Amino acid sequence: MAEQIVLTPGPTQDSLYTGAQKINVAILELALKVLNAGGVPSIQAGLLSARPAATGSGAVYIATDAAEKKFYRDAAAETWELVGGGQVDWSNIEGKPDAFAPAGHAASHAAGGLDEITPAAIGALAALAFTWANLGGKPSTFTPAAHKTDHVAGGPDALSPGDIGAATSEAVALKANKAGDTFTGHVLFQQQIQIGDTGIKLVKTADGVVDMQFTTGTKQFKVNGNPVIHAGNFPVVPYAADETLGTTTSTSYSTTAPFPKSIRMIKSSAYGYNINKINVIAELWISTASGMAYLQVKIDGVEKLVLTTQSTTEGNLVQGTIDVSDWVDNSSHLVEVSIKRTTIGTTSQRLLELYAGVV
């Protein structure tokens, strides 16, 4: 504001000239001040440390420090508000991100690109330098996919019996006809092997299925001396055995201990006992040459088989087969065995074995 000039009477009264000088001085002082057009009454510059306390006057302070060079406004008591900067330095930019995600530019680093990266630049091998020898972490062995059909006869990568150390069917046939040969390892045959005479063969009927066949005559196949296959030529399983010696002098079938011998047989296809036949083997002999010894087999009270002999040799064998294919599945049946003779003397029966023929 311009200074007010007062003219007073008396000796100290200013002259008009002196008053004009004071007006000029006042005008010069006004020109040196900032015109407050609203909200900024003054502007001051200096070091940030010399900035006066904020009172809310609206004044502007320019910090001239080399690290600062910023504009502050006195916004409120104890609050200088940053409103701008003079010289901008990266270190004093506030709110800048820690990292910058570049736009897609893979092509610039590819072979022939503007900023090409070579395999060596990133510690990698060039394609031509990549070999099996310098491949790290490879397994020591590899499990192949299932491919056995490639190696069967007629396959694209067929193996012969000799390739796997097996004998050919022709070689087995030759050896099977040589008495006294001993087989070791695995024997491979495609169709059948002749065993001994012409009446006995091993026949492959399907994968994993081998049939012992008796084609002629009365044959037996024994395991540990016990017959398990007989001339009836059907698969059998041992069912019951009784080696108790029994004798009778009766001309009627014995009813005294250890006779009659009775067992119960079950037909059950679900448990592998799909019984179609019963094979009976017994030791039966008489004490004198005269007369006849009889062994009777009844099923469910009905006579099904009678075996006879006139032999006086201890341990003489008799054998017979009973067809029971009419048995109903999951049924139970009583099998009874007893002996007699026709004339005075003794009939002896010691070994009795029953085998169930199954399919």
pLDDT in tens, 236-250: 566 667 777 888 888
Question: By mean pLDDT, which of 94-108, 124-138, 168-182, 304-318 is the weakest?
Answer: 168-182
> 51 and 28, same structural domain?
no
Q: Flag whether pLDDT at 69 surpasses 50.
A: yes
> 322 and 257, same structural domain?
yes
> 345 and 311, same structural domain?
yes
For residue 80, being part of any structural domain is answered with yes
Q: How confident is the model at residue 259 (pLDDT cuts 50, 70, 90)?
A: low
Measure the CA–CA gap between 46 and 48, rounded to whole angstroms: 6
> 196 and 242, same structural domain?
no
Q: How confident is the model at residue 176 (pLDDT cuts 50, 70, 90)?
A: low
Check residue 167 and give its pLDDT. Answer: 75
- What is the mean predicted confidence (pLDDT) over 230-237? 51
Mean residue pLDDT across the chain? 78
For residue 151, being part of any structural domain is answered with no
> 341 and 241, same structural domain?
yes
For residue 109, being part of any structural domain is answered with no
Q: Flag whether pLDDT at 67 surpasses 60.
A: yes
For residue 209, being part of any structural domain is answered with yes
Q: Flag whether pLDDT at 8 surpasses 60.
A: no
Query: What domain count does the chain have?
Result: 4
Q: Which residues span the domain enclosing 58?
A: 40-92
Return the closest-CA partner of residue 265 out of 317, 337, 350. 337
Q: Which residue has the higher pLDDT, 318 or 13?
A: 318
> 341 and 309, same structural domain?
yes
For residue 266, being part of any structural domain is answered with yes
> 350 and 240, same structural domain?
yes
> 320 and 245, same structural domain?
yes
- What is the mean predicted confidence (pLDDT) over 199-210? 77
Q: Which of 155, 181, 215 is the last residue of a domain?
A: 215
Check residue 221 and give its pLDDT. Answer: 66
Q: Flag whether pLDDT at 28 surpasses 80.
A: no
Q: Flag whether pLDDT at 232 surpasses 60.
A: no
CB atoms within 10 A of CB 153: 9
Q: Flag whether pLDDT at 264 surpasses 70.
A: yes
Check residue 173 and give its pLDDT. Answer: 63
Instruction: Give the per-residue SS3 of the chain.
Output: CCCCCCCCCCCCCCCHHHHHHHHHHHHHHHHCCCCCCCCCCCEEEECHHHCCCCECCCCEEEECCCCCCEEEEEEEECEEEEEEECCCCHHHCCCCCCCCCCCCCHHHHCCCCCCCCCHHHHCCCCHHHCCCCCCCCCCCCCCCCCCHHHCCCCCCCCCCHHHHCCCCHHHHHHHHCCCCCCCCCCCCCCCEEECCCCCEEEEEEECCEEEEEECCCCCCEEECCEEEECCCCCCEEEEEEECCCEEECCCCCCCCCCCCEEEEEEEEHHHCECEEEEEEEEEEEECCCCCCEEEEEEECCEEEEEEEECCCCCCCEEEEEEECCCCCCCEEEEEEEEEEECCCCCEEEEEEEEEEEEC
> 241 and 202, same structural domain?
no
Provide the whole-model pTM. Answer: 0.38
Considering 26-30, 34-38, 259-263, the range whose residues carry the highest mean pLDDT is 259-263
Q: How confident is the model at residue 347 (pLDDT cuts 50, 70, 90)?
A: confident
Q: How confident is the model at residue 72 (pLDDT cuts 50, 70, 90)?
A: confident
> 201 and 266, same structural domain?
no
Q: Flag whether pLDDT at 327 surpasses 90.
A: yes
Measure the CA–CA gap between 304 and 292, rounded to whole angstroms: 19
Return the closest-CA partner of residue 336 out of 289, 282, 306, 300. 300
Q: Flag whether pLDDT at 317 surpasses 50.
A: yes
Tens of pLDDT, residue by residue over 82-102, are 887 766 667 767 788 888 888
> 351 and 283, same structural domain?
yes
Calculate the CA dihedral of residues 12, 13, 15, 19 and round it to 10 degrees.
100
For residue 152, being part of any structural domain is answered with no
Return the closest-CA partner of residue 278 out of 334, 226, 316. 334
Question: By mean pLDDT, which of 56-70, 289-303, 327-341 is the weakest?
Answer: 56-70
Q: How confident is the model at residue 299 (pLDDT cuts 50, 70, 90)?
A: very high
Check residue 233 and give its pLDDT. Answer: 44
> 210 and 248, same structural domain?
no
For residue 220, being part of any structural domain is answered with no
Q: Flag whether pLDDT at 305 surpasses 90.
A: yes
For residue 223, being part of any structural domain is answered with no
Question: What's 312's domain CATH number?
Answer: 2.60.120
Question: By mean pLDDT, which of 145-159, 172-186, 220-234 is the weakest?
Answer: 220-234
